[in-house]
Each structure stands twice: as C-alpha cells, then as structure tokens.
Amino acid sequence: MKGKKIRNGDIENALNKFLKDEHHLVLGFKKGTDGIHHQVFKGGVDNYSLINHVFGTNGALYLRRIFSKGIEVLLMMRPCEIRAYVELHKLTQIEREDIIAISIDCPGTVSSKESKNNMPAEIDQLKGYFSSNNSMRWACSVCREKRGVVGDGGIRFDKTGNLWIIPYTEKGERIISIIEGELEEIPHEMLIDRSKETEKFQVDMETFNKDFEKCIMCMNCRDMCPVCYCLDCVFNGDEYLPKGDALLNKVFRTGSTTMPRGKDLFHLIRMYHVSQTCVGCGACEEACPQGIPLTKYFKGVSERLQGLFSYMSGRSFDEPIPYITFLEDELKEAED
Ligand code: SF4
Ligand code: SF4
Ligand code: SF4
C-alpha cells in the first residue's frame, strides 16, 4: 500500500490549501487554553491538533443531517468518529457526496472527567503513558479499531516516529495530492496494531438491574450517542409510561406496584436500536452523570450481534447494515 510521508507542517499547509475555497470546511481538533476541542475551521486552521487525548464527545454527533450541497467538509477525526459517520451515511443521515473522511491513528483517550495533569499530548508518548497506568477509558482499552484505516484516507504513525497519509478512496487521493512529496510504499509495522479479540459479552438480569439501579432517566446517553439519531424518539415526552386510567388499570390488574419509570424499556430498546451500528466509542458512558458502565452493555451486545452477521460498524462504506438487507437463507441456527 502506498502513502506519503508527512513532514512537520505538511498537514496544516494542506488544510490551509483546502480551506482557501470559501465553500470548504474542516472538522478536527483545536488546542485552546482549556484543552483540545472539536472545531470547525473556515478560511484556515489555527492551533490545529491532529489528535485529542481527552474524550468528551464523538464528533460524528455534529454531522447528523448534513445534506447541504456545494459545501465540502473534510473530517480529520478518530477512527470511532469516522466509523460513526460511515454508519450515519448508510442510515441516510448524511450525504457522502460532499464529505471527505480521514481517520487518524488513536492511541486511546482518557475521560474528560479525569485529571489530565502530566499527560503528554503526542501520540508516541501517549502510548508509553497508557502502558504505565490504567487511566485509559475502558472503551478505548477494548476498542475494535484504533487504526486510521477507515474512511476515505488515514493518517498513521510508524514505529520510527514518521507520520503517513494513505488514500483509501478517490476522495482520499484528492486530499493526498495537495500534500507535498511523492507516494511511496508504507512500512508494514505501525505504532498502533490491529486490536485483539475481546471476550464475548454475557450478563444476567440481576447484574443488569444492579448496574442500572442508579439511572435517573436523564437520557444524556441517548442524546450523546452519535448513531442514536431518531428525531421522533419514542422516549421523548412520557407517553411510554402508563399513567391516568392506564396506571389504575395496571394496578388493579397486577396489584401493588412501584411507580413505573420505563428504565429497562428505555435501555433495552436503545440497545436494540443501536446494536448494529454502535461503534463502541463510549460517548454514552462519558455523558452519564451516574457513572453507569454503559459501554460494557452497548458495545458488548452490539459486537455479539454484529459478529453473527460478520459485520463491523463503520468498517466499510460498501458493507450494508444487516437489518436493511434481507437474505432468505441466513441465521439457520436461530430458526424454530
Ligand atoms: S474508542 Fe477507539 S478510536 Fe475511539 S477514542 Fe477510544 S481508542 Fe480512539
Ligand atoms: S451506544 Fe454508546 S458506545 Fe455505542 S455508539 Fe452510542 S455512544 Fe458510542
Ligand atoms: S445517562 Fe446515565 S442516568 Fe442518564 S439515562 Fe443514561 S444511563 Fe440513565
């Protein structure tokens, strides 16, 4: 596979060239006095940061319902953010026509709720930093794809500290063409390796109830999930809760009851809805004020389900989401 070796300043120069067109935007990271945050750059980049070692949100959240024609957006984001974009495109929530997606090798992140003192911000130092302590978010420690191998192109780090930009589609080739230098064979060994297989998730309802007992139904987890996109969510308002005569009917039918809150229903329906598209980013858990281990459930359930269909969310633009394809001859073992 061929790519271009990137020298200091090459990426900023390329982004500035891209942004010379007034209809072009870049969504990436910017260093500020209060840390590194997602930024939409217009006209040029300033204080640009290739990576962000602190996870607050999944940037694909900002991309839902981009349908504008004639405005080209270049995404420079983490693999889990680009994978969520790919899923949103398949779910017809984003037009791919005017988006160019570049995924960047990700060494893992810490939660925005944790202390960031003495934490290096460079990728090669971060890898060493994470191996000497356990501050990495759980979602990152079991991440299925940390490599910049998804989307239209990738930025990868080799073991000697060189940075490479590699095209995967024609759009990626277009971006790479504005970077100085010639295409050359990329090294086989990169800093970030393919992820190891994780154990199959399995849990009982007792543990589920215990883990979710502190849930206050604030629905932050839903609101911050990049692939939980329904405008008209069944859990908006309180129609899903029995009340008035429906509540009285329930009490007379079943006897004394705790007041229904629909907690299990909410989480199980959400789990079912995102199970084929969840990218395991942990943005739901990051948003939870109650510290509920949501990633364990959402990532766990989705990876088991995706595995049944040999599917991996966001891996490819061409791989259809299993539930939007119908094959008569599949899942034989699940038949009655
Ligand atoms: S889930 Fe993976 S891609 Fe996303 S921030 Fe963590 S390590 Fe990076
Ligand atoms: S359910 Fe959680 S882990 Fe899965 S995509 Fe949504 S925010 Fe990320
Ligand atoms: S964010 Fe946490 S507390 Fe709020 S609904 Fe989700 S699991 Fe419950």
Tell me how far the alpha carbon of residue 201 lies from the centroid of ligand 3, in angstroms: 21
Q: Is the CB of 198 under 6 A from ligand 3?
A: no
Q: How far is the CA of 112 from the centre of ligand 1 (A)?
A: 14
What pLDDT, on a 0 to 100 scale, did the predictor assign at position 336? Answer: 61
Helix (H) or strand (E) holding 259: none
Rounded mean pLDDT, 212-234: 94
pLDDT digits 0-9 by tens, 266-294: 999 999 999 999 999 999 999 999 999 99
% residues pLDDT > 70 (the chain): 99
Q: Name which residue sits closest to atom 4 of ligand 1, judged by CA.
A: 80
Six token digits for residue 108: 């893992």
Domain map (residue ranges) of the chain? 2-185, 205-334
Please check the confidence at residue 71 and state whether its pLDDT lies above 90.
yes
223 lines ligand 3 (CB under 6 A): no
Opening angle at CA 191, ends 201 and 40, nearest 5 = 80
Q: What is the pLDDT of residue 124?
A: 77
Ligand 3 binding pocket includes 262 (Cβ within 6 Å): no
Strand stretches in the chain, DSSP E = 2-6, 24-32, 35-41, 48-49, 54-55, 72-77, 99-104, 110-111, 153-157, 163-167, 184-185
The predicted pLDDT at position 48 comes to: 96
Pocket test for ligand 3, best of 263, 269, 290, 295 (most atoms within 8 A of CB): 290
pLDDT in tens, 122-161: 887 888 888 888 889 999 999 999 999 999 999 999 999 8
User: Strands 48-49 and 2-6: what pairing?
Assistant: unpaired
Give the number of the ligand closest to the Cα of residue 287: 3
CA of 225 to the centre of ligand 3 (A): 12
Residue 67: the pLDDT is 83
pLDDT average, residue stretch 165-177: 96
Would the CB of 298 count as within 6 Å of ligand 2?
A: yes
Residue pLDDT, tens place only, 238-260 = 777 888 898 899 899 999 987 77
Structure tokens at 249: 């009917």
Q: Please check whether residue 86 is in contact with residue 278, taking contact to mean a CB–CB distance below 8 angstroms.
A: no
pTM as predicted: 0.93
pLDDT, residue 100, reads 97
Q: Please tell me the predicted confidence (pLDDT) of residue 151.
A: 97
Q: Are residues 269 and 304 in contact, defined by beta-carbon separation less than 8 angstroms? A: no
pLDDT over 80 (residue 335): no
